[in-house]
Amino acid sequence: MSIRILRAGLLSTIQDLGRLGYQQYGVIAGGAMDTLAHRLANILVGNREQEASLEITMLGPALQFNETRLVAICGADLNPSIDGVTVPLWKPVLIKEGSVLSFKRSTKGCRAYIAVAGGFDLPVVLGSRSTYLRAGIGGIKGRALKDGDLLKLGIPGQEVLRLLQRSTLNIKQFISLPWGIAPSILPSYESNLPVRIIAGKEAPLFTAESWKSFLNTSYKITYQSDRMGYRLEGVKLGLREPVELISEAVSFGTVQVPPDGSPIVLMVDSQTTGGYPRIAHIASVDLTLVAQAQPGDCIDFRKISLEEAQKLYIEREKQIKQLSLASTLQIGREV
């Protein structure tokens, strides 16, 4: 009931949809960087969306399956294969006991999510299995995967168990099931990202020039970027006059500007509070794109209203709900 980590990869961590309800104690919500890919992977294998998945980054791992399992890989293409044969993304895949799922390097996008039907049998810390690296809690002992780790798996639901019993008789190493996320709605990970933002509370404190530059010039993601935040390089942004702000909450998607004028996009592992001026906040629906961006990629910020941002949010949620229902039906039918 486990997966043996033959090779851990660059940064592979267990993540789910985060710890909710503890931010007042300074405990971040955290979780998957690209929540859309994570949720879709879980939906495809019949898991709850909050179930933990394995987030892999840029250079992927090699995983040996000690048991036949239903798996889905969503997000960036890190070139998964079993015995040299390409494994498709965005589809449920039955992987036979003994197979080694191997990843290489991503070209477009940088994070992928491996969901296994039944999830991972790991301790829940403060309501979540997400790995909070800085505090050393969650996931596998609060750290990233290491070569040699044994990842214990949870038990799949009844429907999936029946599907496994029925389908694994004839497969050699793996077989992808005949459905998946429609290619037409798959995100496209480009190196120039249009990212929609709403104006931040402190936007009016910036000079008109700065606001113009922010919306009309590209900002490059530097190598000083990680799960806590992306440091951007571009036309520097300045305030009309110096200001001393009182620290308050920030969150995933907040674009803050420290005194040096180079904006920082706070990502999923950022601290709960901050004191730098917040020029903008990324619309929730575009966080998935930003989560897939790599150093060297360029962001073009585009302003929308809060009302539009929430409309987009609601539309996306409706779409995910439909996918979830469709997936449940398919799994049931396949049995």
Partner 1 sequence: MVYVFGIYNRHNAIYILEILRLDANKAFTGKEKKLDYSLYPLGDTAVVVCFGQTIDETTHSKVKILAHYLETKPFAGFIDMVPAFTSITIFYDPICCLESTSKLKGQVRTPYQVVCQIIDETIARMDLDSMLINASRIIEIPVCYGEVYGPDLDFVAKYNKLNLDEVVAIHSEGQYLVYMLGFAPGFPYLGGMSTQIATPRKSSPRPVIPAGSVGIAGQQTGVYSIETPGGWQIIGRTPLKLFQPSLATPSLLRVGDQIRFIPISDKEFKHLEEGQA
Task: List the one residue from 6, 62, 126, 215 that touches partner 1 (CB under 8 A).
Answer: 126
Interaction of residue 50 with partner 1, rule CB under 8 A: no
Interaction of residue 29 with partner 1, rule CB under 8 A: yes
- Interacting residues with partner 1 between 135 and 164 (CB under 8 A): 135-137
Say if residues 117 and 160 touch (Cβ distance below 8 Å).
Answer: yes
Say if residues 44 and 150 touch (Cβ distance below 8 Å).
Answer: no
User: Going residue by residue from 78 to 117, which x/- string records binding to partner 1, judged by CB under 8 A?
Assistant: ----------------------------------------
CA distances from 64 to 82, 112, 275, 323 (A): 10, 18, 46, 29
CB 282, min distance to partner 1, A: 7
Nearer of residues 74 and 250 to partner 1, judged by Cβ: 250
Burial letters 180-219, b for 16+ CB under 10 A, else e: bbeeeeebebeeebebbbbbbebbebbeeebbebbeeeeb
Q: Which two tokens stand for residue 150?
A: 């044994």
Task: List the one residue from 1, 26, 108, 185 that touches partner 1 (CB under 8 A).
Answer: 26
Say if residues 142 and 9 touch (Cβ distance below 8 Å).
Answer: no
CB 122, min distance to partner 1, A: 14
- φ, ψ of residue 239 to 5 degrees: the values are -85, 155
CB 271, min distance to partner 1, A: 6
Say if residues 229 and 270 touch (Cβ distance below 8 Å).
Answer: yes
Interaction of residue 223 with partner 1, rule CB under 8 A: no
- Interacting residues with partner 1 between 256 and 285 (CB under 8 A): 271-273, 278, 281-284
Provide the 10 A C-beta neighbour count for residue 313: 13
Interaction of residue 317 with partner 1, rule CB under 8 A: yes
Task: List the one residue from 79, 168, 173, 251 that touches partner 1 (CB under 8 A).
Answer: 251
Number of helical (H) and strand (E) elements in the chain, helices listed first: 5, 21
What does the binding site for partner 1 look like in residue numbers (CB under 8 A)?
20-29, 125-126, 134-137, 198, 201, 246-251, 253-254, 271-273, 278, 281-284, 306-307, 309-311, 313-314, 317
